[in-house]
Structure 1
Amino acid sequence: MTTVPTAATPAQLLARLRTTLPKALPTTLTTTGPHPTAPDDLYEAYIFALVIDAARSVGYSVQFVNGDGTTATVLHLRRSPGRIASSGRPGGPPFTHAVLSSANRPDLEVHTGILVVGKSKVAHEADLLILPREQADRCRRFDVDPPSSSAILSLEAKYYTIPVALSTAREFLGLSKDLSPKQIVFACTIASASAMALLAGTSSVEYDDGVLPRRNGEVSLREYVRRLLRNYKTRR
């Protein structure tokens, strides 16, 4: 079990994201005003930031791009499950994703909150997904959801102020049986000992609890993603 998120945690998550973004790129996420961003949405944005940071640490260049391929002028991440082919709500800012580039390897895209298709042909939400840009372009072109088998990483992010229960870990393992990315990860703020024991006994998934700014879980998850992206760069 690890430290429980506090009232200050949402602002810390947003601050961590902002340290990752270019100074000239504002975000629609906020912790103030009449419509603050929900903590679970901030948590997905924070995980997004950890992935970007890990990518840069192993030599990827990062661009922030809209669904139509134009350069983003504001970071606007999904706040509910959506389709990769959707560029945004009418009249609102376009959804943003990141493009990771490295010499001699196909580009990757990093998305939050998009639907992926499992082995059963049922669509599930991926809180964070890394997939080849070529596959993402194909899905946008044909207006289809990406198959989970095309993904480098699918990640489930749980922002809880009470420990993740054993039942939630079981639900995740059930979901993992229908998904087939190269790697599937469960990341959360705090978890019960029984939930972690169940995940620890399942070799097909990776997990980290205590994933919060300046906590051990943050270091562990960042290093895991760092190794994954480094291996993608170097293995043919």
Structure 2
Amino acid sequence: MKIIKINATSSTNEFMRQFTLQTELNEVYCVKANTQTNGRGQMGTSWQSESGKNLIVSYLLPNLKICPDHNFIISMLSSLAIIKTLKHFNLPHLKIKWPNDILSGRKKICGILIENNFKQNHINSTIIGVGLNVNQIDFSELPKASSLQLILGQKISIDTVFRSLNLEIEKVYQSLLHQEFEGVKQDYYAKLLGFNKVQSFHFPDQSIAVGIIKSVSDHGFLKVEFENETSEFELKQIKQLY
């Protein structure tokens, strides 16, 4: 893995995307920033981070041949890589909130933004952006957010977390290269918040309904059962209440 460290950028995903236009990449590349001024989450939502207190990193995984119909495997593997990384630091009650937010208890500590590149009808590379709250303690405007320091009660070395995550991302890359996906969906479901449990969901029309998460499609659509009828939802079409 080749690592690029920079002080500040508008977005590590955007930095990596521009970098790929200038350089032919044949191995995993990573860019790590101390500050990100225009971080993005899923569907264009913003992500704010205090300078130097969190892990802000994007990985470029090249030379893939993933069928677009199975694109969600990248999200599942990435989410599980974060979970495995955080287990080294004894974070309690780790869960994945669909599609790929990472929670400790009921607090969000990490977000993932995946951007795929396509060539000849397959995904030939992917950028995995990770924003992990490590030592930030002020979340006054984000009541459902937290950090490793707040949860564990002590400062955590960002570089140590970074090194652990790099090892897990290398494993993700090997799985994608060799298309070794056996057991991935089962592992994802085992960590999926509310899987097969009765819970409430909020919809854009402000209505609320009770349902059960039954599965996630290969495209990443959430399948929820309401009164014995199962429906599929894309991100922003449904919000899980927790």
Taking structure 1 as the reference length, the TM-score comes to 0.30
TM-score by length of 2: 0.29
Higher helix share: 1
- Higher gyration radius (CA): 2
